[in-house]
Structure 1
Amino acid sequence: MQEKKLYVPEEDPYFSRPYIDVEEWREKPVRHYFVHGGFLGTEEGGTQVKFCLYFPEKEKYEGRFFQYVSPAPEDEHMSESLTGEDDKISFALTHGAYYVVTNQGGFMLTGGERLYKSSANGAQFGRKTAQRIYGYEHRPYGYIFGGSGGSFKTMSCMEMTEGVWDGGVPYVLANPMATPNVFCPRVRVMRVLGREGLEKVVDAMEPGGSGDIYEGLTPQQQEVLREATRMGFPERGWFSWPFMGDGALMVLAPMIYQIYPQYFTDFWTKPGFAGSDPDSTEAKDRVQFVTVVKELIYKEMKSEDEIYNSVNNSWLNTLIGNNETPVIRLSELPDEDACLYHSRIRVMSGKAKGKECPIDKMEGDLLTVSSAYDGSNGTDSLAGLAEGDQIMIDNSDYLAMQTLQRHQVPDGSYRVYDQYRDADGNPLYPQLPVLIAPLIAQNGGGSVPDGRINGKVITVCSILDESALAWHGDWYRNAVRKAKDGDEENWFRLYYNDHCIHDDRAGYLDDKQHQVDYLGVLHQALLDLADWCEKGIAPLPTTSYRLEDGQIKVPATAGERGGLQPVVDARANGEKSITVKAGEPVSFTARIEVPLMAGKVTAASWDYERTDDFSRYEDLLKEEDGRTAYVKTTHVFEKPGTYFPVLKAQSSRDGKLDDIFVQCRNLDRVRVVVE
């Protein structure tokens, strides 16, 4: 294994001129001392490296800092808009830490090393500032954390430096083969199965369902779904299809355009690529519709306040910009059922001939283009377009992206790619001349993660994650184990959360009936990491799990499963699925168990009829140690229909509800058919 050259911030003259331009006490979100500044001479791409530091009052400071890195570089003030459990600043300030965040040097198409170097220098300057403010000479402990694309940055920070951070918590992990490959097969499933097919899959995995996600599908639909499942898309995760979109798939397309543009031609012309097969779904769904511009309508530019800062949507900041491109009224329209999502517009005549741009949406005869994915989103990306010009609406590139993963098969450590190898281990499909995904990883974090961490790491992953597939955590665990010659126990933990998806926001659950947030587990992991590094208190063992044909499976009970998340077993009249008469009382019971040493049950709440209101807590009958609790209630359904009552439960280390940041959540569902 080739030795990495570690980055030492103190030896880098590029960051040798730090400055402070704001320093003041602030009362919100809680009283703290605020410091803002940057590094002179670090302007690249029009952006200077800047930072924000938020220090708690001296008597509340415990000698540590938490530093957040977002999926895509954002304004250094990005955390100030967060509230409630999402409020990272308040979490740090109320848990003995000051909070550090930088703009990571701003968004750039190249130069990934700038990301961890900016973060490292922000961390080290924060240490000096903390020593000055508190009057202590001690070295503050430091912990970095980030999710999704931010996990790339967290892993790079832990692998490319030593002594800057004592530990890190990368969550909803990416890995070197993640992007764009994780998005490709799921988008193909959504296209081929459509609403009807996807609803069958969802129902099969509901309580009382068959458990067979392939039941009722055509052979072609089954084949497409099986490929995505073996790649790791969670079988129970398809409930999120109405809102998950295609992630960052087409945001990443420019990397393929730059590295190997020939792919988009080969896909439609060469054997071994799906597009060249006339019987493929791609060939049948291809659209190349030519029409004429009837009218150009110029719209207002986007507000600078329109920001995005969750792990699910922060990548949008790389493409929204102040796009001045007009809305286009078309003279003729493609077929109503044509597959037009993420098509491109290509200008065929006039002054703008040859220009291309992604399509954002079509409403009636109005076509809105998106900002260019290559970052040129500050002006009219179709400058010169005029009424009467001929344009083509083309979905060819988007279809080609949906099987890209077949054509960049990595080494054997990525077990989900075995479906693309023959008995001798050779690729079944033509291969691109270079693996593109690791290049995206390099650009996204500054290095390609390989497990050579320089500090302790706790990872937090979601079993139902639709964008950072759950097996990524297992891959990184194995990489760390290899890098540490098998000594995983002293360096690494991996916690899996069930009924959690990719997004890290607590207040914006897309589907409150199927989903809980994982922020409580994330925050508890950060606190446990601090105890591990500062006090030598080892965290709880890694969640018990197995990787089976792309799927992460965990034991049914909390005692066997471990980790930090409580486990819920809910029943209706003692069963998972029942049929009753309207007006007939139904007895609902649940058993809630917290893994050993992980805490105590704090609350539970039923939602019987999809109100999305979980504010009413049920009475809990707890066992003596508080780790196990029971709920028993009755509900009457007055109207016929199929209902999926949901019980959400939560726990905390001390068994109290007063700390909103460390409530670890889970849920369970039952089916009630009312006649």
Structure 2
Amino acid sequence: MMAWDEPAAARLRRRQLLLWAGGLAALPVFDRALAAEDSASPGAAARAVPPVDWTDDPFFGAGFVDTDEWRDTQVRHRFVHGGFRDTDTRFSIWFPEPAAWRGRFAQFLQGGLGGSEFRGQQSGASLIAFENGAYFLESNQGHVGNDMKGLKGEGDVLSWRASAQSARFARRLATEMYGRPPAFGYVFGGSGGGMRSIDCIEAAPAIWQGAVPFMINRNGLTSFNWSVAAWASMVLAGKLEAIARAADAGGDGPYSVVETDEERLALDRLYAAGFPRGAEDQLGPNPLWILGMQLAFATDPAYIVAFWRQPGYAGHDREPAVERMLIETELTVKALRTGDEVGAAASAAEDLTGAVTRMSGPGTAGLVLDTERPAMDFLGASLEIVSGKAKGRRLLCTGGVGESITAFLDPVGFEGVEPGDRIAIANRALIAFLYLHRHAVDPRYPGMAAYFEAGQAIYPQRPIDFDAQVVPKGRFQGKMIHLQHTHDREAWPTSALPYIADVNAHFGQATRDNYRIWWIENAAHLPPSASQRTEYVSYQGAYAQGLRDVIAWVEEGRAPPVSTGYSLADGVQVQLADDAKDRGGIQPLVTIGVGGRTRAEARVGEAVRIEAEAVVPPGAGTLVRMAFDLDGSGAFATPVRDLEGAPIRHRAGLTHSFERPGTHMVTVMAWAQREGDARAELRLVPNLARLRVDVR
């Protein structure tokens, strides 16, 4: 561990607190906030403790309304939009007609860093609120888009205070409209919104009595996890597709593909850190690495210098992998691509960059360079324009969409760049991030154990204070149903384990009276795209059911289905119970096979008998749909038609012959619904299983 003076340590701790609360786009704002704090006199007054009840928070100016009208979209409702003066906090509220309101509200928290007061409505969360007789509330959580100035350096404005003040204002409007205030409040959200849902119920129990966080990511573990995945992805770059195929159902396993000691070590380190087995097809370049990179470097600006200049770091020591990964070149711009063109290419390719940024418009959003390298190879690289009208501009490459590189984090971006301009490209910062997981570890986290020998860190350590992390404590009033996904590359299953442990430590034997953890098998971070529908399941129905159940738990004392039964392999790999009764939770357990095996061989035209079974855990409803996908299209065009009586357990079989040689993946999906309503659209909870058939 490096030694540093106490004032520097205090500054670092404050920096970490702010960064983990705020994030990428907030860095300049937080730097200014820290500078102001460092220059303040020692006797400066401490910040007032924010209110945790229905009392107005003095951080926010007077509330205002700029839209108040009745609308008929989704269901008839009164739509109110507004905000708070002297802040960037904005909110939208959807009030159902008085006859449809049942005395409660449901507040959705957008994931990531927030920034929009409309994302929940766009994703259908408002329908979930209306189904439960609640008015729907959403805020931008204190800031507009990626501009964090509205937080004024106070990270808890983002984590819960903007949400609380929005709830207070909505309560006053609800009282005027319905003649009484809401008796109960609920908060739900995923990813960053999931973490902040926990912040809300822990900080302000008078406002929220129930919470449904899903796919949470433990603050402080994010950079470590993403660094391990990024490094392994780069080491295994030429074999990622083969690894994904080998890791799929009936495959020979990922280790059957790797050949070198370095490749085997990459898999070892990846799984030992907690990357979920079965999610290997999600490895590869990920634009979110940039967020991890920026957070890490802003927390510890000296790290990148140390990585390239000090012994014990792979950059200084010039490890062979570093030499292979390093890009330092100068290229010419061949062509420009507009936002509309980049957005269309992203949509066609189901590209995460395009999905996140929703690129559009006539301005230049992408550059085509004179190189044979894929554009995504430049993810995380610095771009310096060295000729033309934009000479001297420095940008960060946010990846590639099709043949174009992008730089969407900079508001100016590629404006003024023309074909023929030269660009200097270097990815030294990204490479430093790839190895960060070696140099910022804590023995308390099982996923970091591989980086210690005899209790001592193997590599030089950075001055990272893990106890400075802003993390929930597992101490809340009310009820919580927490959903975590088993195949999530952004919020690994291990990200939830510390919070689960904190809850158990706080409540002890009373945990079952206050908290549920439902693991959602075969769910990734984003809903499955068209090409992923045979591999991953949608999770909206699960958190919709979670909201319904937490309402009944709070208001009627009716306990929801038990937590999912699971164990930990090697302390980090979540393994769900094999039997539906032992598994619990709300998701059906689904299996498929030929003769009890998940791999079969057949000749072209030979009949293959495929058997599948789905079982719903106790209290989770009944099966309402079941279907096979035989061609990998995701259409599930072969439904099971004998599900009469809404069974809890069902076995289905079919005989099929394959007319083309090669490997065919067959998928069966089953949907459970609490009331056994086969026509339901909300609260459908799916799961799937896959079978490999090698046809010769």
1:75 maps to which of 108, 111, 116: 116
The counterpart of 1:358, out of the listed 391, 396, 400, is: 396
Paired residue secondary structure (2:545): helix
What is the CA–CA distance in structure 2 between the aligned matches of 1:114 and 1:353, rounded to whole Å?
A: 39
Match of 2:142 in 1: 105
Inter-partner Cα distance in structure 1 for 2:334 and 2:300:
36
Match of 1:129 in 2: 173
Report what 2:479 is aligned to.
456
Q: Which residue of 1 aligns with 2:295?
A: 255
* 1:403 lines up with 2:435 in the alignment: yes
- TM-score between the two structures when normalised by the length of structure 2: 0.83
1:286–1:339 contact (8 Å) kept in structure 2: no
User: Contact between 1:509 and 1:516, CA under 8 Å: does it hold in 2?
Assistant: no
Counterpart in the other structure of 1:186? 229
Aligned to 1:51: 91
Q: Which residue does 1:418 correspond to in 2?
A: 449
The correspondence for 1:650, drawn from 650, 671, 689, is: 671
Structure 1 residue 323 displacement after superposition = 11
Structure 2 alignment gaps of length 5 or more: 1-47
1:283 aligns with 2:323: yes
CA contact (8 A) 1:307 1:317 kept: no
- Residue 378 of structure 1: aligned partner: 411
Select which of 87, 94, 99 maps to 2:131: 94
What amino acid sits opposite 1:598 in the alignment? Answer: A
CA contact (8 A) 1:5 1:160 kept: no
TM-superposed CA distance for 1:188, in Å, is 1.9
**2 CA distance for matches of 1:236 and 1:660?**
28
AA aligned to 1:434 is: I
2:271 aligned with 1:229, yes or no?
yes
Match of 1:575 in 2: 597
Percent identity reads 27
Partner of 1:45 in structure 2? Answer: none
Deviations 1:113-166 (A, max 9, x none): 2222111011122222222222235x3311111111112221221222231111
Contact 2:342 2:354 (C-alpha < 8 Å) held by counterparts:
no
- The 1:406–1:509 alpha-carbon spacing in structure 2 relative to 1, beyond 3 Å, is farther
Distance 1:660 1:568 in 2: 21
Name the CA distance, whole Å, in 2 between partners of 1:102 and 1:228.
37
The 3-state SS of whatever aligns with 1:250 is helix
SS of the residue 1:670 aligns to: strand
Going from structure 1 to structure 2, the CA distance change for 1:81 and 1:634 (only over 3 Å counts) comes to same
Match status 1:341 vs 2:371? no
The residue identity in structure 2 corresponding to 1:597 is G
Greater Cα shift, 659-668 or 249-258 = 249-258
Partner AA of 2:440 in structure 1? Q
Q: Distance in 2 between matches of 1:641 and 1:369?
A: 37
Provide closer, same or farther for how the CA distance between residues 316 and 152 of structure 1 changes in structure 2, counting only shifts above 3 A. farther
Gaps of 5+ in 1: 43-47
Pair 126,315 (structure 1): closer, same or farther in 2 beyond 3 Å: farther
Question: In 2, distance between residues paired with 1:316 and 1:258?
Answer: 26
Q: 3-state DSSP class of the match of 2:498?
A: helix
2:555 is paired with a residue of what secondary structure?
Answer: helix
Aligned ranges for residues 531-570 of structure 1 at < 5 Å? 531-549=552-570, 550-570=572-592
Question: 2:57 matched to which residue of 1?
Answer: 12
Contact 1:343 1:396 in 2 (8 A): yes
CA distance in structure 1 between the partners assigned to 2:229 and 2:628 by the alignment: 32
Instruction: Return the offset for 1:266.
Output: 1.5
**Could you tell me how far 1:516 is from its partner in structure 2?**
0.9
User: How many residues of Structure 1 are paired with residues of Structure 2 in the alignment?
Assistant: 636
Question: Does residue 154 in structure 1 map to residue 192 in structure 2?
Answer: no
Higher relative contact order (CA 8 A, sep 6+): 1
Q: CA deviation at 1:180?
A: 2.3
Contact 1:66 1:142 in 2 (8 A): yes
User: Which has the larger share of helix?
Assistant: 2
Change beyond 3 A, Cα 1:333–1:643 = closer
Aligned AA (1:528):
D
* C-alpha distance after superposition, 1:27-70 (max 9, x if no partner): 1112222222222232xxxxx32211112232322222211111
1:485: how far off? 5.4
CA distance in 2 between counterparts of 1:177 and 1:448 reads: 9
Distance 1:386 1:39, change over 3 A: same
Deviation at 1:468, TM superposition (A): 0.2
Structure 1 residues 423-478: Cα deviation after superposition (integer angstroms, max 9, x where no partner): 22x3222122224x887xx7xxxx43222324322110111111100122222111
Q: Please report how far the alpha carbon of residue 23 of structure 1 lies from its aligned counterpart in structure 2 after TM superposition.
A: 2.4
Superposition deviation, residue 274 in structure 1: 2.1
- Residues 568-626 of structure 1: per-residue CA shift (max 9 Å, x gap): 1112355322212222222222111011111111110001111221255212357x882
The reply to whether residue 585 of structure 1 matches residue 607 of structure 2 is yes
CA pair 494-5 structure 1, distance change in 2 beyond 3 A: farther
Question: RMSD of aligned C-alpha atoms?
Answer: 3.5
Is the Cα contact below 8 Å between 2:381 and 2:396 reproduced in 1?
yes
CA distance in 1, matches of 2:334, 2:631: 48
1:198 aligns with 2:240: yes
Match of 1:33 in 2: 78
Question: Structure 2 vs 1, CA of residues 294 and 235 (structure 1 numbering), >3 Å: closer, same or farther?
Answer: closer
1:577/1:259 Cα in 2 relative to 1: closer, same or farther (>3 Å)?
closer
1:129 counterpart SS class: helix
Classify the secondary structure of the residue corresponding to 1:10.
Answer: coil
CA–CA separation in structure 2 for the residues paired with 1:239 and 1:338: 17
Q: TM-score, normalised by structure 1?
A: 0.85
